[in-house]
Structure 1
């Protein structure tokens, strides 16, 4: 059995890890700049991806209002604050790191991502969460054959594919649309975003004889430049279908959780 059918690289960054961000980072609310900094830090509150932590000095004056509440975050204790910019109020959406957190985080603030209307790395928007400097996303053309089945029904069969390799996630197999049996699939209104690949263009579900399987396939019509090879192709969740690659049945990957309709879904989609 090929090694790719059972293994993918693990995440290696420990929780609480802190590193400098070598990019200019900006955040806005209601068209106003909340911060503009070249001194941001990456902080890993979970292994999968980092968050930005911004020097308090680089926020617009008067933006933070102490809620007088401290809680334990992934990297240590932090004091919760409400964010106010003009008439816009984001209650309890910011945490200033306290004593017991890594020393480099002192006098920096970590925001709930959705509390800001937009985030920019240099002059490019970034969605869902910061791009990890330790994550690779490679889309490679492959002659591997792929057969997709569910409840005994063949949903797709292709003589080749584009394999998308993303650190910490199972390999995804992107197929030409002509190889998919669209008569078996039902379009859904789910939309997800990925900081590495962009915004999905469509999701599809399958109604079998005994059960319905929601959102098992997706497409990026206009992915990021780095993932351009998957443009217009369709992938199926390894976690929810039976995938045969070069004739070998792949074990189903662990379920990362379903995407959320009309909202952001970090990493698991791939």
Structure 2
């Protein structure tokens, strides 16, 4: 059976659980309220895991029992809030008191933004836990890449950096000197990626918003894309060595 052009590809099975070997911490209002080496990955969807934390590794005095039970697909849970000093976060987590999945009982699942910061070892992470099966490679190439929109050439380069990321289509990062900057207008959008870092720039093209982006200071693993510009190949026509690529179907389409 041939591959479809839909993304993301499956990385792990839904409800797959496995221990994380990393020290995981969470900070709220300047206080570390989670500090554990016993976190568990649970894939709620196939592409991205979430951390589930033993309740014994959460600061007990920061938890607020909201006296609300939830009957969920994975089991029965108590809804919890968080309070540290004058900071109160409602519906911040759920504590599984009964589970339909072996090993889930006694674990706490936090809403990611219910705390101020998450750390794996001593590195802050953003958006969601890094998937242990997720890989990102940035490789230099001499393939000819041309990007067009409605016949307008937006970029053309023989020295692209190809970024291969598990579960996503190949991204083509191009030198700014190879980009038709006059066709782009600056956007205030900024995003972050657990694997690449914080974007420094986004650009619109006509009425197409946030069509291109750049990482000024990406993480060391993908340092080759620093300052280069990539386009959503879901929304533009991308030619590689003269061949028009099919537009991939993703959440960005």
Q: TM-score range by the shorter chain?
A: over 0.9
SS of the residue corresponding to residue 178 of structure 1 reads helix
Q: In the alignment, is residue 250 of structure 1 matched against residue 249 of structure 2?
A: no
Q: Does the 8 Å contact 2:169/2:248 carry over to 1? A: yes
Runs of 4+ in 1 over 4 A off after TM superposition: 3-9
In structure 1, how many angstroms separate the alpha carbons of the residues matched to 2:71 and 2:153?
50
SS of 1:13's partner is coil
Deviation string, structure 1 residues 19-58 (Cα, Å, up to 9, x no partner): 1110111100110111111111111111111111111001
Q: CA RMSD in A?
A: 2.0
2:234–2:252: 8 Å Cα contact kept in structure 1?
no
Q: CA deviation digits over 1:90-141, x for unaligned, max 9? A: 1001011242342222111011111110111111110111000011111111
Which whole-Å CA distance do the structure 2 matches of 1:71 and 1:111 have between them? 17
- Confirm whether residue 165 of structure 1 aligns to residue 164 of structure 2: yes
Q: Distance in 1 between matches of 2:8 and 2:30?
A: 40
Equivalent position SS for 1:105: coil
Distance in structure 1 (CA, Å) of the matches to 2:105 and 2:41? 13
Gaps of 5+ in 1: 259-270
Q: Does 1:120 align with 2:129?
A: no
Q: What is the correspondence of 1:250-269 to structure 2 with a 5 Å cutoff? A: 250-257=245-252
- Give the aligned length: 251
- More deviation, 147-156/84-93: 84-93
Cα displacement (A) at 1:153: 0.6
Quickly say closer, same or farther: Cα 1:165–1:219, change in 2 above 3 A: same
C-alpha separation between the residues in 1 aligned to 2:102 and 2:42? 12
**Residue 4 of structure 1: how far off its partner (Å):** 11
CA distance in 2, matches of 1:6, 1:117: 37
User: CA contact under 8 A between 1:11 and 1:167: conserved in structure 2?
Assistant: no
Contact map agreement 2:160 2:173 (CA 8 A) in 1 = yes
Q: How does 1:34-73 map to 2 (within 5 A)?
A: 34-67=33-66, 68-72=68-72
User: Hey, what does 1:189 align to over in structure 2?
Assistant: 188
